[in-house]
Amino acid sequence: MNWEITVSGFGGQGVLFIGRLLADAGFNAGLDITWLPYYSGEKRGGMCSCFVNISDERIGSIFITHPDVGVAMNPAAMKMLEPTVKTGGLLVVNTSLVKTKSARHDIKVVYVPTVEAAKELGDETVGNIIALGAVIANAQVTTTTSIIKVLNQMLSKDKKQLELNKAALLKGCEYS
Amino acid sequence: MPERTLMGGNIAVGEGALLAGCQAYFGYPITPQNDLLEFMARRMPELGRVFLQTESELAAINMVYGAAAVGFRTMTSTSSPGFSLQQEGISYMAGAEMPAVIVNIMRAGPGLGNIGGAQGDYMQCTRGGGHGDYYLITLTPSTVQEMMDLTMLAFELADKYRNPVLVIADGFLGQAMEPVTIREKVKKLPEKKWAITGAKGRPKNLINSFEMNPLDHPRRIKLLLEKFERMRVHEVRYEGLNLDDADIVLVAYGSAARSAITAMNIARKNKLRVGLVRPITVFPFPYQPLADLAERGCKFVVAEMSGGQMIEDVRIAVGNQNEIKLVNSYGGVPLEADPIFETIDLLM
């Protein structure tokens, strides 16, 4: 197996964090992993991408040109990812910010209003986890159980955040 | 079972330094190596070792010089503009034969450039970098595991040769995370009889890079040159992949080598006989293995994240008969597998 995943959006949207959750889940499964943050000088508000490779073989390139899974959290990310996702791949689009539709018919596109969905849980900051739920529900990268295990490790000291993130993950899984 | 964990490249350098017994770290913040400095700021005091955030890179390298002179395993880390500032100190240390590890997590230059990863300091790293006749063993990790392993090796080689040793990686590799197996701690550090430790009950030691007598200085340089020659003979390291039947040989280091591996795998799937030489030391450079491949009639593709610097070493190795193509990125932009494969395709 070999998964190439690119998550892209504004710094502050949790782009690197959901990449990290995927990487940790793959690592826990004993797979080879690369996780690469890619951003410019500014942090919040600047463009930010995260490249994650998950493979049962030695991984070559740490950069990803044609992802199996793309997550477009803002319009610039949509512009970058929509043409590059591999045929047969998955594109998750954050419709809270991206108002355009994909013209591609050779990939699966899932539209997720991450901010509105997160607000229903009472906290709009978990929009990224909603998007991650949509990834897991529509591509066999990893399982909700594996991601919840990672969340349990990472957020063990903050029960409230942990429950919120778990709820967001499950809510994201409803989109297909 | 050795511990295996997911770790960032810069952190792996720090962990490697701790395992190798680094006793004193001096540094000044600069992206993209800040997480290494932060890691050392936290961990060195916990272990009762020295951490100092200096007022500049100049101060850092000169404190490294001082710590090395008293016999400490010591290091600094920086990124390209900071590395330029350190050249004077490094030249003095090479002249005074001071062992230390210098880590350069390269970003795009020239000048302030850009914080994106790059390999544009190749010439500066492989040709001394400061004034005078000197070289530094220059190690080039291409995985996070190697960030740890080669940092540990750097401390060994620095002490073995009494010379500063460089570990260079592009900023992408510094910030990337990969699985790492934690190595065993170095238990015994080498004795340093030359160190300045108070001279109680022994003749005094003197550490400097200066000879007043013009007749003495050539003698000192001759000894240095002989030392660099020993490095050339004994310390060449590289990884060769799929070379047995290769018609085209990729040459790449650092994260460019990772992209080259992917390009090679695509080529092999397309029944193209492509191999890879991945230098692990760029000083000393693996001239001979490349010369042998040239003799066999191979063509070469040099993949690097600079305007084209390592290609000059490949040309020295290969001579003028064989075709060499450059595929590169610069200005802080990654070199991806696609253009490397396209360049292979052009050569077929």
* Contact yes or no for B152/B167 (Cβ under 8 A): no
pLDDT at A44 > cutoff 90: no
Q: What angle do CA B106, B109, B110 make, to 5 degrees?
A: 140
Domains and CATH numbers, chain A: 2-172 (3.40.920.10)
Q: What is the pLDDT of residues B297-327, one digit of tens each?
A: 999 999 999 999 999 999 999 999 999 999 9
Residue of A nearest to B335 (CA): A63
In this complex, which of A23, A38, A61 lies closest to B258 when CB atoms are compared?
Answer: A61
Sign of CA dihedral B66, B67, B68, B71: positive
Regarding pTM above 0.80, the answer is yes
Average of pLDDT values for A38-55?
86
Residue ranges of chain B assigned to CATH 3.40.50.920: 238-347
- Nearest C-alpha of chain B: how many angstroms from A99? 29
Yes or no, beta carbons of A62 and B258 under 8 Å apart: yes
| Disruptive mutation site among A62, A80, A149 for chain B (greatest number of B CBs within 10 Å) | A62
Yes or no, beta carbons of A61 and B172 under 8 Å apart: no
Burial state string for A81-116 with b = 16 or more CB within 10 A and e = fewer than 16:
bbeebeeebbbbbbbbbbeeebeeeebbbbebbbbe
Q: What top-level class would CATH report for the domain B238-347?
A: alpha beta
Yes or no, beta carbons of A65 and B336 under 8 Å apart: yes
User: With respect to CATH, is domain B4-234 assigned 3.40.720.10?
Assistant: no
Residue ranges of chain B assigned to CATH 3.40.50.970: 4-234
| Whether the complex's predicted ipTM surpasses the cut of 0.90 | yes
Q: What is the pLDDT of residues B20-33, one digit of tens each?
A: 999 999 999 999 99
- Nearest C-alpha of chain A: how many angstroms from B71? 37
* Contact yes or no for B30/B79 (Cβ under 8 A): yes
| Confidence tier at A42 by pLDDT (50, 70, 90) | low
